Chain A
Amino acid sequence: MTLAEIETLLVQSFAEAKAALGSASTPAELEAARVQFLGQKGFIQTAKKSVGQLKDVADKKAAGKLCNDKDRELQEAFQQSATQLEERAREAELATRLDVTLPGRRARRGHRHPLSATCDDILAVLSGLGFQPAEGPEVEHDFYNFEALNMPKDHPARDMQDTFYVQTSEGEGDVVLRTHTSPVQARTMLAAGKPPIRISCHGRVYRKDEDTTHSPMFHQIKGLYVDKDVTFADLKGTLQLFAERIFVAGTRVRLRPSFFPFTEPSVEVDISCFACGGLGQGGTSTNDEGRCRLCKATGFIEIMGAGMVDPEVFKACKLDPDQVSGFAFGIGVERVAMLRYGISDIRLLYENDERFLAQFPS
């Protein structure tokens, strides 16, 4: 190409190129225009290659300058256009609106079963009071479940706990599904051999009983404290603190004499109703007449059994009742969970319906 031809090419194509770069309405159009005019096969490059072939130095210089000027001008036009498009795009994006009311995307999270969560809470409270957790077999010898706990064979107290018996071979003693976690107390006393013993025995227990408030398998936690000079007053104080920490501050404890073969004296423990504050009416769980449903308007809820360890239990567990004393108390985990969460049918706890479980914390 001659100088004149180069100049013509640059001038003619320049207008077209500038228009194309300036009028591009999308980044894609702009990029297409850039490739078409400024790319390796665009007229600027074509012109630049031709410049190199010019013989005349002056021509070369003039054509080179013209090339560079047009190139720069078009590069600037490209930049300007690109900036404009970016700004426009930003403005357009800023003008858009998400429907923020659409549901968020959530990862699936699992939930703790109310029974195991309640059990852990109780164990944590007891741990704070110095009671260490203890566990033992669920299929238990009659000895640990009954005899060591002052319930010899043919004792009417055995009727208090309807028992599942396990098949054994000829000539073997009775074996039961433990009816309470107290055998763990007996095992611990026998194994430890000396006080102090301060344990919380938790786990599954079994009784042949089934309705809306009884399950043939349920969970129990029993506390045991054995030492020198443990008193009934200590039991009362411990129960008071325990009740406040499990339920709400200000919970009052009421003791009533009762009977358990493994404790003497024995008491039933009632707590002031946390729904009505012990008033029997008003509060968070009332019937149509304004009376408290949770405590059946009595102001109190029966929650556990307790007592001073019976001397016969100490003897069976190789401790000297003249040297040590102790107290024990037992609480049903189901009962606490049902009270806490307002569950009226115990069977809900074992169905494992996802909708039921999903109501509880992780």
Chain B
Amino acid sequence: MQVSGKWLAELVDLPKDTTPQQIADKLTAAGLEVEAVTDLSAALKGVIVARVLACVAHPGADKLKLCKVDGGSATPDGAVDVVCGAANVFAGALVCFATPGTVLPGGKSIAVATVRGVTSHGMLCSASELGLTSSATPASDPSSDGLVLLPEGDGFSIGAPASMAIGRDDVVYTIGVTPNRPDALSHLGVARELAAAFRSRLKAQAPTCAERGGPIDTLATVTIEDVDGCPRYACRVIEDVVVGRSPRHIQARLAAVGIRSINNIVDVTNLVMMERGIPLHAFDLDKIAKQGTRAAIVVRDARPGELLVTLDGKERLLVEGDVVIADTAGEGRAIALGGVMGGRDTEVTPTTTRILLESAHFNAARVRRTARRLDLHSEASHRFERGADPNGVLQSLDRAAALVAEFSAIVMREVSGKEPKGRVARGVIDSYPKKIAPVLVTLRPRRAAQLLGVPPKLVDETSASKLLLSLGLEVEGREAEAIRFRVPTFRPDLTREVDLIEELLRLLGMDLIPATLPTRSGENESVLFDARRHRALLLGRRALAASGYDEAVNLAFASPADIAAFGATDDVIRLKNPLGEERSLLRRSLLPGLVQNVALNHRRGISDVRLYEAGVVFLGRNPEGRTPRPNSPAGPTGADAFAIERPRLAGIATGSRSPSTFDHKAEALDFFDVKGHLEDLLGTLGATGVSMSAFEGPEAPVFLHPRAAARLSVATDAGAEVCGLVGELHPDLAGRWGLKNRAVVFDLDTDVLARATRSLIAARPLPRFPAVRRDFALVVDERVPAAVLQRGFADNAAVAGLLEQVEIFDVYQGKGVPPGKKSVAVGVTLRAEDRTLTDVDVQRLQDALVAGAKDLGAEVRAG
């Protein structure tokens, strides 16, 4: 909302010498946040009113003219030469002259310059050069982009700033009005706030309107059929209007607050709306269908399928629930969309002579629904959907009718010099079947002091009343320790005691509120928090950082291609209104985001990348989540969540194992590096029962290289649980997504990690007796997994209680090993807790282990 300082000054008495910044600060402190203060004249600094004394053809150019320009005190050495290209310049013209050094609103710098051999000491300005819309300037011919020609006789002195001459001597406040304050969408409303803030008062505003025309009853009738949609509809008729341009200062005023001038009639409706907050609409009375002599207005619910061409030229398909203003043509024709926009067929045009001026009140929710459905957000709908004042309808109507008559007269006088015209018909039609009365709200001053935490004196009956009266509230009555206030209908946001308490807080100011800390300290446990998961993530993050992984954060959106690449499925959460197809779904996996992060790094020449992300994925719909169940015991804790949301911890690694150094060349990391990182991670969590197995056949994920794709499981309270997967990214996918190197990925279920996390770790004493190590070379079929051999040793009954470690320290294929076989070197550490193992013991154990290995089909090469 743009608010003009000049306009405000007409509505409220402010202390003398109040600066714009002080006004802005007061408004902001009152909750009307001033986002910008713009001094319109500052943009025209250096531009002055000047007189063209002489004007001759430029000696060196056909289309240019050479002018002698008198700038008064700005040209102390007498008139200066200025080259001008405008067609409408003439000797004697009163113009806006940009002196050298000026920077025009468009950013153009003016300097003394030589134009085709003639020195030019500045520039004569057009409307666009001055940053004005052509219709908002007093230029005599709006269609040309010629110079702005100032009218004679308005008392502009030569050399004075041009800003005043063109109505730009104003300060504009840009206010961010919150949706609860429709009253602040008008100058009167803002002025009221200022009056309260400065403890000042509004200037009297009681619009009147001289009725010099015939009785309105003979000209129009109004029937409200849809009282819900339109509780009040009032109108006046003005005859003998002359449509033309608005007076110069009105155009400037509208321009200042960001509204384009259309014509004197439409401008009046906008002017009154900006002044009083009530949107108005003007119909050409003669385009409304008549019943007899009378234009018959019917306000009703739209019929399904009904069509209306709105003022912006678009044909709108209406539905039930839209409020239409209709006439009685045919079956009844919609002529305007109530509270949103007028219709083109009854628009005011230059030939219009009779106006029906509407001032009405429309149902906020209905207007909002219509505006949203049609994506048609107008100044009118903006105000009605927030709540315009139903009881300010008549004042606005009177004010507007008087202005229409006045501006018609001005146009008449300007155009033909004839007698003023524009007669307001006698009487008003005011159909108000459902009166909206001011709300009564009771305030308990004690409650106010209690909620705000202030001394009771600050908001006792006397001071509370005084403060609220300054906002236009009235005391309706008193009860024991309570005051009943009547809230004016322009403040629809004040319906409850707490709303009044907020007003008291605004008016008192925040500085008067003490700063205290809550003193009560009751038991307090979060019911929507999984501390175990939190702890697992904390430890997991620490471990991954130690393994060189940077933490990534990706948006949770996914494209259909992302979903397909990681296992096509229809069980996806889709957005109704996405930011494009590429972000139309919610991710089912963290991996696509991470792969794309690596691709971005690769494109930027960074080859060593390790990233992980902790976040939820969305695995389709939760069958229990069709509707919210706030009243069931489990619903609010998440059982009624619409989607299945699962926390995951996923990562990707690519590039070198360790950074290359001056004496060591980097080696590429591979599957076993990442497996090691995960083992470290699980070790940090204290997880036990960690095991990996290769995916077999069709269960292998499509996005992993078949040679290195493994499932990870851990021991939890529930036994052995699958915790996730690790593997090399499929080379096809890596290539398609722009990765320059092989990458290894992992994707873990954070909840399983949480269940595997041990919070208590029992320390073991150090061993007291020495260990013995024996190495074995086992030649086995190459398809036998190392883990089988390892487990074979570990599970050998003979070594139960004595086996400390089984380590695989070499795998060999080639010379000396038959084809299809491999030689696996296994180191076994044996130790007894209570004695030193003897040679005899060791030999016996070794024999047992060899026998066990043979049972597994291994040929034992050495002992």
Q: Are A157 and B180 in contact (CB under 8 A)?
A: yes
B366 nearest CB neighbor, chain A only = A154
Residues 148-167 (chain A) with a chain B CB within 8 angstroms: 148, 154-157, 159-160, 164-167
Partner of A350, one of B29, B525, B553, B606: B553
Give A318 to B635 CA distance when docked, in angstroms: 14
Flag if A353 contacts B541 (CB, 8 Å): no
Residue of A nearest to B493 (CB): A259
Query: Counting CB contacts under 8 A, is A125 at the interface?
Result: no
The CA-CA distance from A78 to B181 in the complex, in Å, is 104
Beta-carbon contact of B498 and A311 below 8 Å:
yes
CB distance from A303 to the nearest CB of B (A): 14
Interface residues of B in 537-566 (CB under 8 A from A): 541, 544-557
What is the interface of chain A mostly: helix, strand, loop, or mixed?
mixed
A208 to B551, CA, bound (A): 25
B637 touches A191 (CB 8 A): yes
Q: When the two chains form their complex, are residues A156 and B386 in contact, meaning their CB atoms are under 8 A apart?
A: yes
Minimal beta-carbon separation of A128 from chain B (angstroms):
12
Is the pair B636, A111 in contact by a Cβ cutoff of 8 Å?
Answer: no
- Which of B513, B626, B637 is the one whose CB lies under 8 Å from A187? B637
Q: What is the size category of the interface that chain A forms with chain B? A: 35 or more
A349 touches B553 (CB 8 A): yes
Q: Which residues of chain B come closer than 8 Å to A332, judged between CB atoms?
A: none
* B633 CB contacts on chain A under 8 angstroms: 191
Report yes or no: A132 in contact with B556, Cβ–Cβ below 8 A: no
Q: How far is the CB of A262 from chain B (nearest CB, A)?
A: 12
Name the B residues within 8 Å of A266 (CB-CB). Answer: 502
B101 at interface by CB-CB < 8 Å? no
A232 to B506, CA, bound (A): 13
CB within 8 Å of A: which of B261-280?
Answer: none
Query: CB-CB contacts of A225-263 with B at 8 A, as 1s and 0s?
Result: 101111111101110110000000000001111110000
Interface pair A256/B31, CB less than 8 Å apart: yes
The listed residue (A109, A184, A215, A225) touching B545 by CB distance below 8 A is A109
- Residues on the A chain within 8 Å of B642, using CB: 137, 139-141, 166, 168, 175
Q: Does A217 sit at the interface, judged by CB under 8 A?
A: yes
The reply on B144 being an interface residue by CB < 8 A is no
- On whether the beta carbons of A141 and B530 are closer than 8 Å, the reply is no
B351 within 8 A of A: no
B178 interface residue, CB < 8 Å from A? yes
* Chain A residues within 8 Å of B28, by CB: 256
Query: Are A357 and B552 within 8 A (Cβ)?
Result: yes
Other-chain contact of B450, A164, A215, A229 (Cβ < 8 Å): A229
- Cβ A191 vs Cβ B527 within 8 A: yes
Contacts of B33 in A (CB 8 A): 256, 258, 268
When distances are taken between beta carbons in the complex, the residues of chain A under 8 Å from B516 are 231, 233-234, 236-237
Indicate which residue in A148, A256, A325 contacts B510 across the interface (CB closer than 8 Å).
A256
In angstroms, how far is the closest chain A Cβ from the Cβ of B494?
10
Known: A138-B618, A187-B636, A259-B181. 6 other contacts (CB 8 A): A111-B545, A112-B541, A132-B524, A175-B642, A215-B555, A217-B557
Return the 5 tightest CB-CB contacts between A and B, nearest first: A231-B453, A233-B453, A257-B31, A108-B548, A259-B178
B residues sitting closer than 8 Å to A (CB atoms) are 28-31, 33, 178-181, 364-365, 368-369, 385-386, 450-454, 496, 498-499, 501-502, 505-506, 510, 513-518, 520-530, 534, 541, 544-557, 573-579, 583, 586, 594, 597, 600-601, 604, 606, 608-612, 614-616, 618, 625-628, 630-631, 633, 635-638, 640-643, 645, 658-659, 661-662, 664
Task: Please list the residues of chain A having a beta carbon within 8 angstroms of any beta carbon in chain B.
Answer: 102-103, 105-113, 115-116, 130, 132-141, 143-144, 148, 154-157, 159-160, 164-168, 172-173, 175, 177, 184, 186-188, 190-192, 195-199, 204, 206, 208, 210, 215-217, 225, 227-234, 236-238, 240-241, 254-259, 264-268, 308, 310-311, 317-318, 325, 349-355, 357-358, 362
